[in-house]
């Protein structure tokens, strides 16, 4: 078997005070109330993810907390390895400011579906193209190193968007057209160096009436 399967999950929703600002790769906490309300999603992920996979998080606590919740929901606890290249987009000097302040500092017209353009690079920070530039080589390297394995990565909206863009050969502007939901599952496959997008934004099925 030469196919490497990647299961990328966006972390749980962060606390309300963090959502009030542009938090980027700040180490903010997840929302305890929402986590308690999302038990069905964690159970679904615990059953949906393949057994025996290698697990990775980013250095940020919201990804480790999300992994812990999936283990608590029934997935056999696995060793968590840290892969910093999947961290969220770094917004430089603009991290921690309000959304209104952020908008006032933009130097380019924003993307139709995002607060800033795909090419906007905050002072001391990254553009989405920069994120694709670090996530893509990380994916290629992991696909080579773990050929034939299943890999679970708890990551961020920006880095998962970048992973899809890398797999599909999209430019940053096109990548911003993907919306990545919290606790959703995105599946990528590498077949002997060729990328396939198996799914984006998988979520638990809606309960039947």
Q: What percent of the chain has pLDDT over 90?
A: 88
Q: In this predicted model, what pLDDT tens digit does every residue of 146-185 receive, in sequence order?
A: 999 999 999 999 999 999 999 999 999 999 999 999 999 9
Q: In this predicted model, what pLDDT tens digit does every residue of 13-42 receive, in sequence order?
A: 999 999 999 999 999 999 999 999 999 999
**For 57-81, what is the mean pLDDT?**
98
| pLDDT the model gives residue 208 | 56
Between 55 and 108, where is the model more confident?
55
Q: Which residue has the tokens 């917004």?
A: 91
For 140-197, give the secondary structure using H, E and C.
HHHHHHCCCCEEEEEECHHHHHHHHHHHHCCCHHHHCCCCCCCCCEEEEEEECCEEEE
pTM for the structure as a whole: 0.95
| pLDDT the model gives residue 143 | 97
Determine the Cα–Cα distance for residues 22 and 67; give it in Å rounded to an integer: 24
Gyration radius (Cα) of the chain, Å: 17
For the cut 60, the answer to whether the pLDDT of residue 105 exceeds it is yes
| pLDDT the model gives residue 13 | 97
For the cut 80, the answer to whether the pLDDT of residue 46 exceeds it is yes
For the cut 80, the answer to whether the pLDDT of residue 206 exceeds it is no
> In the 8-state DSSP scheme, what is residue 14?
B
| pLDDT the model gives residue 209 | 52
């Amino acid at each position: 078997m030469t196919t490497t399967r990647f299961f990328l999950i966006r972390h749980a929703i962060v606390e309300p005070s963090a959502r009030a600002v542009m938090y980027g790769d700040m180490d903010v906490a997840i929302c305890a109330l929402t986590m308690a309300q999302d038990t069905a999603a964690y159970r679904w992920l615990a059953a949906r993810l393949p057994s025996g996979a290698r697990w990775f998080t980013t250095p940020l606590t919201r990804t480790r907390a999300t992994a812990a919740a999936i283990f608590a929901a029934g997935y056999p606890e696995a060793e968590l390895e840290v892969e910093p290249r999947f961290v969220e987009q770094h917004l430089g000097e603009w991290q921690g400011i309000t959304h209104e302040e952020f908008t006032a500092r933009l130097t380019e017209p924003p993307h139709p579906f995002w607060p800033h353009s795909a090419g906007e690079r905050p002072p001391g920070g990254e553009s989405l193209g920069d994120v694709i530039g670090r996530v893509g080589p990380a994916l290629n390297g992991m696909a080579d190193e773990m050929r034939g394995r299943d890999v679970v990565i708890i990551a961020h909206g920006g880095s998962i968007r970048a992973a899809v863009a890398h797999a599909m050969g999209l430019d940053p502007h096109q990548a911003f057209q993907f919306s990545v939901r919290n606790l959703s599952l995105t599946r990528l496959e590498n077949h002997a160096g060729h990328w396939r997008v198996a799914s984006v934004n998988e979520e638990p099925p809606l309960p039947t009436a």
